[in-house]
Structure 1
Amino acid sequence: MAEMEAVAMNRQFWICGFVLFGGMLLNAQDVSPVTRENLEGALGNRSVLLVELVRQAEAGDNYAQYCGPNTYITGRGVLKNDAEAVRWCLQAARKGVPEAQNRMGYLYQHGIGVPQDYGEAVRWFSNAAEQKLPAAQHNLAHMYQYGEGVPLDYARAADLYGQAAAQGLARARNELGMAYELGTGVPRNATEAFNLFHLAAEQGEPSAQHNLGMMYFEGQGTARNYPEALKWFSQAANGGIVEAYRSLGHLYEYGNGVHRDYLKAAELYRKAAEHGIVAAQVELAYLYMTGKGVQRDYFESAKWFRRAAEQGHPIGENGIGYMYCRGEGVIRDYRQGADWLQKAAEQNYPLAQQNLGILYQNGLGVPLNYAEAYKWFTLAANSGMAASRRALEALTQIMTTTQLSDGHTRVSDWVSHHNNLKLAAQKAEARKLDSYETAAQP
């Protein structure tokens, strides 16, 4: 049986930490409709709101018909009634009120008061976007960005985000900044991304504040500046971006722009981890494993690695697999350890591939199989794992010609079968992939 050893964790802060709220559409409530002065007065006085709105809406006033749905959707001053909201909103939308058309798109996109129908959502967003309503341009861009109701088209999405951004819509500026950062629909341009994030952040857009902090942290599009990163991460956290707590935790853990404080880092990671931020769960697991900022607790470490693993994070899968192999925080179980390591290895995570090679080489939790061990060591070595290269050299000395041939075939088959991993990773990044390179090996 092979001796199991832990190694220092190699951890990096990746640019993938950008916050992309592509799933958030702008409802009509998020923009200021062009309402008449008397209706604004009525909105300020809830005691006369419903009566006044109904009277004017029934008289055919377009904007009363638009404003009416707000009361029924939110339940302010009247019982919540999605169907009634749709009825009034549809009347205004059919008369060409762009805010009402945007609202109808929102209702169809989310299935509020009507069956969910992306095609209808696109139709209404398009009608409003043609009238230059920034929120509708943003929402239509979202549909193109994610292929909802239309073929996926990053270039068209970027163009629409640009139209809304040109009118000063902060969220569109953030989305367009993401497009320039990732090169989706536009050429990669870190400087342009930085400028857009800065504009949106100054407008108070929390996701842009976090993204701007990342630019300062990484020195992308601007000079690296940890104090500025700290400033914007803090504002984003105050604005409700839970990912920002993880980013702040990283600054405190490594003393970037602040005095190193492991205890503070652990507190910040926990805030993000408890909200399901997978990278923070991995970081917190690492702190519990090493006893930095918290008392060393393998049970807590295993708990947080497991939570990350259950979200499909390869580093979390590798972490909990390692702990099963070591019997730390859990009862030693090589079979379960192998199962978790397999999940991470299939995601092309090099350290898990190396760990899985060790198990196959020694028949721990899996049948002893030199050809399979050869496959995983080779894949890990190809990703730069020096220990895997050494293990591979030693393994080939004891393998037969038949086993070596089998090993070569397994490597070729795996590479061929997983040739779409890069594309899948790019899509995941666009959807918001945040991860740290955290490692532990048996």
Structure 2
Amino acid sequence: MPTFPREFQTVIVPYAHLFCRRVFAHVQLLLLGAILAPGKRTITSVLRIVGLGQQPAWHKYHRVLSRGKWSARAASRLLLGQLVAAFLPTGPLVFGLDETLERRWGPRIAARGIYRDAVRSSDSHLVKCSGLRWLSVCLLTPLPWAARVWALPVLTVPAPSAGWARAQGRRHKKVTDWARQAVLQLARWLPGRQLTYLGDSGYAVLTLLAATRAHATWLTRLRLDAALYETAPARVAGQRGRTRVKGARLPSLAQVAAAASTAWQALTLPVDARGQARTVELATGTALWYSAGTLVPIRWVLVRPAGEADGPFSALLSTDLTLEAAAIVTTYAQRWALEVTFAQVRAHLGVETQRQWSALAIARTTPVLLGLFSLVTLLANRLHARGLLRAQACAWYQKQAPTFSDALATVRRYLWAETLFDNSPKDTVLLKIPRHQLHIWQEALAWAA
């Protein structure tokens, strides 16, 4: 068994009470191997990278995921507490919600469904794919050593299809139902904190906004043909009938965008990940969004490229009417960090390469790998405090700030340098390797995807 380094133990030890002592030793080894292993994140590849390729009792490591009695939700709560304490101990918190598709095939994967592949589809071309759909809640936070906001996964839940629910004899829960439960769960975990959630147009659902707006603020996209109304007039003395809940119907946002009388204001968005700044024009107002008996007060914001009076137009909403239009747009622009995180966990942490068949192992592995993204970030932040974090540099490319690949490479170099494996037999022959050659091998393995 290896000797785990101090920084690794500091981050992992808070999870010890979720497992029995023997299982937690296996958990630490699996997490260590999942960080170090390139390519597939199967149990066997993890065991090989930590020197246990000849382990006769390899099946006990599979049982950590398929049979172990531990709570992934409790682990999510601990992870959230670590991230908040490290990066945002005070002030408001911003979260992003989005679905990601794990492409999987095979008849033994019970929750598998056919979904639209958002990454490969376009407006003119629809691609469907077999796989598992996950709803992930990510903490959006700036890092002291990064040039942009990062999306750190804290809670990931499966959102299976209606066909799977029928086959299991269960009531189907929509993605918005899972989102409502996630928002209410985080509100219980973070009492007294101001919470804001960013979502795409799929979360602009009146029932979801109405059920959660007492606990959090929502920023989402809004349909240009949404039914908006004025505030209901005050009830007068002697008035008969029910009290009105809404006033007169307002023009649609598409009509507002096309009207010559609409007042627009310019806004320069912050520099994005490509080092580009963009100027847009905004128009805003407040209204009541009403449909089928559900009513939510919102502030709407129309957005168009600067200098393009004919559009294209997009619309955003905020359930906090006091937010200014510029704050709504700049905050919502952080949502792109979720797409970056989803791409990086596939490229660097092996999401979609796992091969479990057990339903419980399938339900645990992908959330663990997404959570590993946040754990690596926590480790890299601790190594940054020690002056060990650096961006990859060469003669033809100089990074301005570390990215996740640099953070992962730094963590790997630290673990290789500090972790001692005692699996070698006593008669092992030691070979001397030139330091320069060892450095080349370490660099190649540290950035291996």
Shorter-normalised TM range: under 0.3
Greater fraction of residues in helix: 1
Q: TM-score, normalised by structure 2?
A: 0.24
Larger RCO of the pair (alpha carbons < 8 Å, separation 6+): 2
Q: TM-score, normalised by structure 1?
A: 0.25
Greater fraction of residues in strand: 2
